[in-house]
Amino acid sequence: MFKANITITLRTSILDPQGKATGHALGELGYKAVQSVRIGKYVELEIDAPTHAEAALVAKSACQDLLANSVMEDYHVEIQELVAN
């Protein structure tokens, strides 16, 4: 059994109004060191696959088919093996 940790973000060429508003609010709260904010999504999948490579393939396929909008978003997948107790 594997766990896929998936981070989905807007491509850098896409305007992120939510990130812009959050960045402005942080500046108003005194976080002057914050120069830029981008908002994204985080998804966890538990995948029953025999190998790490097959779990990664399932996660990437799920991103391409449903989880990420390939026109506007990029995604990053990390796979970890779940240890049975």
Question: Which CATH number does the domain housing residue 51 bear?
Answer: 3.30.1280.10
* pLDDT value of position 84: 74
- Over 80: is that where the pLDDT of 37 sits? yes
Instruction: Count how many domains the chain has.
Output: 1
- What domain range includes position 73? 2-81
Angstrom distances, CA of residue 51 to CA of 12, 47, 77, 78: 33, 10, 15, 14
How large is the average pLDDT for residues 30-46?
97
Q: What is the pLDDT of residues 9-20, one digit of tens each?
A: 999 999 999 999
Q: Is 29 exposed, middle or buried (0-12, 13-18, 19+ CB in 10 A)?
A: exposed
Torsion angle of C-alpha atoms 49, 54, 58, 61, degrees rounded to 10: -170
CA distance 12 to 50: 35
* pLDDT value of position 85: 67
